Structures are given as structure tokens and as C-alpha cells.
Amino acid sequence: MNTTWQVLGGFLVRDIAAFALFALEVYFIWRVVVPAAIRLAYRHSVSHHQFERFDGSEGAGSNDLQYLATTYDCRRNDLIVSVRAPDALYWGIGVYGGYLRVLEGGHHNNRSVNIDPEGYFHMRLTLAPNQEGDCLDCRESPQGLLIFRILCAREDIKLPQVRVVPQGQPLLDVALTP
């Protein structure tokens, strides 16, 4: 009897340890390997801190939409994206993390941004989103993809300008109008 319990106990300890190791592997793959692989994949096709146009043919896009995208990294600095607000039925700008899903607090659209008297809007990508102006919260993923989508544009869309600024630098101190 005593031996049976010893054998069963040994199996139990071994299985619990093995399952913990397996769970750790899965967690590591999901939290580290998958986002890194996805970042690596789109880093090869999307410019860093510089918007490019995409026709949507690689992502089940729509021909009524224009897609402008860049990768971002705001681990040490804030980014300020400036562009003239497009004349369009709808537009939105958002940050997408390691799983290519939009981040919490990381999306604005034509109804939610402030547009200055010259017709521009300025969006700050930051790890400290409680600042003046419009911010995209990147705390969940300090590196990722920034996508600007314009639906049914009525004019040619210019590429937004991306500026790297020190964290927390007030908008007024940044030369805003491109």
C-alpha cells in the first residue's frame, strides 16, 4: 500500500511539474514568440516611422478604403503624427500590437479628434496618455503598427508626418504644421 502511494505520488509530482513546464512553454510562445514573429513579418514590409500606402491586397482590404501604415516604437520617445484631416466619409487611426489587434485606448476617428484651424490633426503615440491633445495609448504594446484608414476619400490623401519627440513634450513646443 505504502509503495503504491509512493509510485502514484511520484507520477503526480512528475505530471504536475511537466504540466507547469508545458504551460510555461505555451505562455512563452504566446507572449513572446508570436508577437516577435508578427513584428518581424511586418517590419519587412512596412517602413519604420514613415507612412506608406497599401492597397489592402495583402489583408483582405476594400477598394473603397485607403490604407496608410507605418511601424512605431515609443519605448523611449513619444511620436507625433500630423496630417491634414482628409475630406472623406470616414477615417480612423489606430495602433495595433503584437497580435495585430487594436490596443485598448489606441483608436481615434474623424468624430473624436481635435482639428486645428489649419485643418490638421496631431496625434501623440505615448506611454503616458493623460496629456493634452489627442493621444493613442501604447502602454499595452510600445512597438507595433500604426494604421490610418480613409473610407471613400473625396481628395488625394497626403502621407502623415511622423515626428519623434521627448516623452511628455508639450504639443506647443513642437513645430506642428508640416
- CA dihedral in degrees (92, 95, 98, 104; nearest 10)? -90
Number of residues that bind other proteins (CB under 8 A): 38
What x/- string results for residues 63 through 102 when contact with other proteins is judged by CB under 8 A? xx------------------------xx-x-x-x---xxx
Q: Which helix (H) or strand (E) holds 20?
A: helix 2-28
Q: Which amino acid does the sequence have at 85?
A: A
CA distance readout (Å), 43 to 16, 98, 132? 39, 12, 30
User: Interface residues for other proteins in 15-54 (CB under 8 A)?
Assistant: 15, 17-19, 21-22, 25-26, 34, 38, 41-42, 45
Phi/psi at 172 (nearest 5 deg)? -65, -30
Binding stretches for other proteins (CB under 8 A):
14-15, 17-19, 21-22, 25-26, 34, 38, 41-42, 45, 55-64, 89-90, 92, 94, 96, 100-102, 107, 109, 147, 149, 151-152
